[in-house]
Amino acid sequence: MTFAMRRKMLNFTRYFVLFLVSMVMIYPLLWMVSRIFQSNNYVFTNTGLLPTVSFSEGMENLGYGWNTRVSAVPNLFVSFLNTLRFLIPRVVGQVVSSVLTAYAITRFHFKGKKIVFSLVIATLLMPDIVLRIPLFNIFSGGNPFGINLLGTYIPLYLENWFATGSFFVFMLIQFMRTIPKELDEAAKIDGCSSLQTLVFILLPVMKPAIITVALLTFMWGMNDFLGPLIYIRDSSMWVLQQALRQTSEVGEAAIIWSEVFASAVLALVPAITLFFVAQRYFIDGIASTGSKE
């Protein structure tokens, strides 16, 4: 066997294995989509992807999934708008605070710099659930101002404005370390202040990493159920995850699972769309983080 033939066989084997792995990973998503076109009796008893109901019935399930049968949830669009009411401030706060913190650690020299970086790493290893009770005490009135923020969206994003996302801070630190400091020095010679250097010199170079931070924050916020469950009490303020949870709480005998899966699929559309739109920047940001020139 010649070298060219061995190389073709190796490439074929590699791509075949990747295809099998990708099919295993994508099967749950395809299964969930196929449940929209399954009758209620076959949703959990049939592992295949072929529909058991007509296309028109599947479209009806999508319609019911969009409007839901829960009186407290008018439709998924209202719940999605409620989700954006805390997601947008969360994404903005996460990006701004993480960039500023990473900039300070990588570009400035101050006492206790190593201690600050060590704390970032330490909180990176800390599970998020550990902070739930202290944050609840603060937002329920246990703060110096005695302000009770329960029943509002503020507790869902306020902490993100103080660089609590250690993973994102560390990722931006690693990315910023790959940017030559000569750019900062050239900007300083041209009369730029530290803030101007960050805004006009570093941020354009950091665009892939910043988009990655924004995208992951958005997707993780879309999947956040525990936070809204703790702080949001009024059903008119329910976010998408709470609305989806309620679709399966209408009584066990009355649950129509094809409509529940239809609601879940529709709720996935914004996050999947955003991912594919920003896919190139996301891959660049992940691939270049921690690399050295």
First to last CA, the chain: 39
Q: Which amino acid, residue 262? A: A
> What Å distances lie between residue 176 and 96, 106, 153, 169, 207, CA to CA?
15, 7, 32, 10, 11
Total of domains in the chain: 2
User: In this predicted model, what pLDDT tens digit does every residue of 31-47 receive, in sequence order?
Assistant: 988 888 888 888 888 77
Alpha helix (H) ranges present in 35-112?
55-67, 76-107
Is 67 a member of any domain? no
pLDDT band, residue 71 (cuts 50/70/90): low
The answer, yes or no, to whether residue 292 has pLDDT greater than 50, is no
163 vs 177: CA distance, rounded Å: 18
Global pTM?
0.84
Task: Answer yes or no: do 269 and 159 share one domain.
Answer: yes
134 vs 227: CA distance, rounded Å: 13
User: What percent of the chain is modeled with pLDDT above 90?
Assistant: 29
The answer, yes or no, to whether residue 252 has pLDDT greater than 70, is no
Is 17 a member of any domain? yes
What pLDDT, on a 0 to 100 scale, did the predictor assign at position 91?
95
User: In this predicted model, what pLDDT tens digit does every residue of 184-219 receive, in sequence order?
Assistant: 889 988 888 999 999 999 999 898 889 889 999 999
- Beta bridge mates, 140: 148
Which letter, b or e, does each residue of 164-175 get, where b requires 16 or more Cβ atoms within 10 Å of its Cβ? bbbebbbbbbbb
pLDDT band, residue 293 (cuts 50/70/90): very low
pLDDT band, residue 287 (cuts 50/70/90): low
Task: Answer yes or no: do 246 and 180 share one domain.
Answer: yes
Residues 261 and 190: beta-carbon distance below 8 Å: no
> Could you tell me which residues come within 8 angstroms of residue 256 by beta carbon, excluding any fewer than 6 positions away?
40, 61, 64, 69
Is 293 a member of any domain? no
Task: Answer yes or no: do 47 and 81 share one domain.
Answer: no
Task: Answer yes or no: do 16 and 80 share one domain.
Answer: no
pLDDT band, residue 286 (cuts 50/70/90): low
Look up residue 156 and give its two tokens.
């869902």
Q: Which amino acid, residue 275? A: F
Q: Which domain holds residue 202?
A: 76-288
Supply angle C-alpha 231, 237, 239, rounded to 5: 80
